[in-house]
Amino acid sequence: MKIALINENSQAAKNAVIYNALKKVADTKGFEVVNYGMYSSDDKAQLTYVQNGILAATLLNSGAADFVVTGCGTGEGAMLALNSFPGVICGHVETPLDAYTFAQINDGNAISLPFALGFGWGGDLNLEYIFEKLWSEPFGGGYPKERVVPEQRNKKILDEVKKVTYVQDMSVILKGLDKELVKGAFAGEHFAENFFKDCKDEKIAATVKEIIG
């Protein structure tokens, strides 16, 4: 599994803390973590939580990432931004229990965490415990276990609903959005080297190349 980490500008200073907690857990599972930044509050490329959504959806829909870890001050804005796009099911996660139930019940492909609200002493440990419980079992196993059949059925129903309600593909969406907004989402220091290496969708790759110039 390839996991993308994305930070927006208000919480960019915590990137290293988040990355270290995520990589510590990912390494035990044999997962790869790709850090798309922001790497510090002084980065030239400044991401908003809306641009987190654009970047995350591009990574997931192109196959450049299998899962996205992101967030903002409260985690709410980034979650809403990610869920604005097709091919993304993002949960708002504050605790290890949130992480476990989201993975088991909702079987999504992204989480948004609050990196300011409630992030105090022990915040780094809470992150580590969240990532441990998130990947403690294969996704979609159900909770409680006797609910697995209806929960898996509901997840499939949601997937079919999103196919209808999100009818445009990512290339069309990217071209339809404000060009500078999208270009800014792809302006990270290491975006190009990471994205084009891992992207599995030639159409989306071509669209991104056209946008960034």
21 vs 18, 145, 163, CA distance in Å?
Answer: 5, 29, 34
Which among 75, 68, 64, 71 is positioned nearest to 47, based on CA atoms? 71
Which among 5, 53, 39 is positioned nearest to 185, based on CA atoms? 53
At 37-46, the pLDDT tens digits run 999 999 999 9
CATH number at residue 114: 3.40.1400.10
Mean pLDDT of 81-99: 98
Mean pLDDT of 162-188: 95
pTM metric for this prediction: 0.96
Domain extent, residue 26, equals 2-212
Give, as one character, the DSSP assignment of residue 121: T
The number of folded domains in the chain is 1
175 band by pLDDT with thresholds 50, 70 and 90: very high
